Amino acid sequence: MPQHLSDVLNACERMGKLNVRGEELRTKLPGASPEALRKALYRQQRAGRLVRLSRGSDHWLIVPLQHASTGSPPLETWLDPWLRKTLGTPYYVGLLSAAETYGASPYAVMVTQVMVENNRRPVTVGRHELVFHACSRIEAMPTRWHESADGRFKVSTPELTTLDLIQRESMLGGMVRVREVLRALWPHCTPQGLILALDAMQSVPVAQRLGALLTLDDQAGLRAPLSDWLRDRPTRLIALEGALPPGNERDGHTDTDFKVWVPPQQGANS
């Protein structure tokens, strides 16, 4: 049996196992008292060899030497094992972080935006900062695997990413910024994927705004199935973003097909 925690960590790394749990470490070091193991874990943390992913989870991440400067291996290595397997939390990477995986974000995403069932506090792991957003009915949302040589994590489909961006535009810098991302996302979207995402989210206002945006960007192939989806659902006049202003202050135009008032700054070339 190994005598030191460092020997255990080195052996795990050689096997390609970077996610370890406290129970595994205690099993591999049966001669170590709980206090001795706690101190050894603390020393490895101080040395940058180990990262504890969240308080109380007992989930530890080994940091290989090549990732010492960033303080943790890539997100694909540990996000899914930590959230889905250790914590049992349904999740998907979404919003601008999801758009980035499709090469559709013109902005540098400084944090990783993760959708979860209930609100969680932000987490920093090395140079990775995770921000969590609550999403109801998360297990019904369409996702796919984002894979790399380091591992994989769940990410929203392009169509769900589109709906999420529209729904949360105010926290992302407004609709002008969101539209820049959407223009790069349209080629990744399919009519079938769009209907699947709409059925999962079940938000008529988001669907209406999507329709107006598809019209502005001449996306007829996606516009037709959306019109079919909305046909038997009740709609009311809404603004493309924010609240609908009084009638005498509406200088833009109204998309009568989707009942969306579009302000002048959101013209087709904006």
Indicate the residue type of 164.
Answer: D
pLDDT in tens, 13-59: 999 999 999 999 999 999 899 999 999 999 999 999 999 998 888 99
Mean per-residue pLDDT for 261-269? 77
pLDDT in tens, 208-230: 999 999 999 999 999 999 999 99
pLDDT in tens, 235-256: 999 999 998 988 767 888 999 9
pLDDT at 268 > cutoff 90 = no
Report the 10 Å Cβ neighbour count for 30: 7
> What are the distances in angstroms from CA 152 to CA 92, 96, 133, 192, 217?
11, 18, 20, 24, 33
Question: If you search the block for the tokens 């013209």, which residue do you land on?
Answer: 267
pTM above 0.85, yes or no: yes
Q: Which domains does the chain have, with CATH numbers?
A: 1-69 (1.10.10.10), 185-266 (no CATH)
Buried b (16+ CB within 10 A) or exposed e, 74-96: bbbbbbbbbbeebbebbbbbbbb
